[in-house]
Copies of this chain bind each other. A is one copy, B any other.
Amino acid sequence: MELQFLGTGSGVPSKERNVSAIALKLLQEINSIWLFDCGEATQHQILHTSIKPRKINKIFITHLHGDHIFGLPGLLSSRSFQGGSDLLTIYGPKGIKSYIETCLHVSGTHLTYPISIVELQEGKLFSDDNFTVYCKLLEHGLPSYGFRIVEHDRAGQLLVDKLKADGIQPGPIYQQIKENDLVVTKDGLEIFQKNYIGPKKRGRVISILGDTRATERNKSFVENSDVLIHEATFDNEKENLAREYYHSTTTQAALLAKNSFAKELILTHLSSRFQDDDIPRLLQEAQEIFPNTEIAHDFYQKSLPQKE
């Protein structure tokens, strides 16, 4: 599982930072990639990575501001061009469907793969064998959502060496041990699962919030995230401006990470007014509150190792 930031700016692209998009690479887990937001030229950014558009099978749109969606029609077309044939599901606020349909219709674009467009409602978005994803309305003037991606815990591995040492040979019984707390053999041998199973693998929790004002209401939604990805459009001293424009500051994002017991915080969606020189100062503002903070840059990749 890796995160790769494809666009870490806000509002308009600059030479240094493109507009918003984040890839969550789940190649080892489910051989697919999820994309969060799709600002203009996201497909161009992808050309400079190892990401294959046909591997993207879910796109989550936090909100409909142009810097988060204007790359979507182009990416959909290119995925077609490059021979994608698997279903692509797009989640986004109400309006996403008419936006996509108008763009595809007007441009005469016929996709080579089926798409499903799901307009968001707060709560559980879906749950499958591996993940449950929740979404929540934030505060951004127009509907903007956060996503909480919860990987399911996985059972520990069967301790084959120990089983063999105790004289229990491979066979259908191994599956029975995996599935039952206690197995009694024909010979009356009692096998307790707990003696032959390694520790459970705890699932990871990733919270990716769309643009939002700082609000107490976001806290419980992101609680205990392994990684919290949060906007930081403004620096600490611009708290009033941030409030007025429904955005957050470095410090406000760090406070949320701290108060929600996040393990790591990654800041993104930086205003184009900031230069490279400003980054250390912005980082320091956040780290004073929440030390385990990073500021993303375009193409920044972050591994999220499995937890034990």
Contact = CB atoms under 8 A, between A and B. Distances in A.
Contact of A107 (B12, B44, B69): B69
Interface stretch (A73-81, A213-221, A237-245): A73-81
A223 to B, nearest CB: 30
Nearest to A272: B81
Interface in A1-57: 11-15, 18-19, 40-41, 43-44, 47-48
Interface residues of A, number: 38
How many monomers of this chain does the complex have?
2
Interface string A253-270: 000000000000000000
B74 A107 contact: no
A276 to B, nearest CB: 16
B15 A48 contact: yes
A13 B99 CA distance: 22
A308 to B, nearest CB: 40
Contacts of A40: 40-41, 43-44, 70-71, 73-74
A66 interface: yes
A195 interface: no
Interface string A266-288: 00000000000000000000000
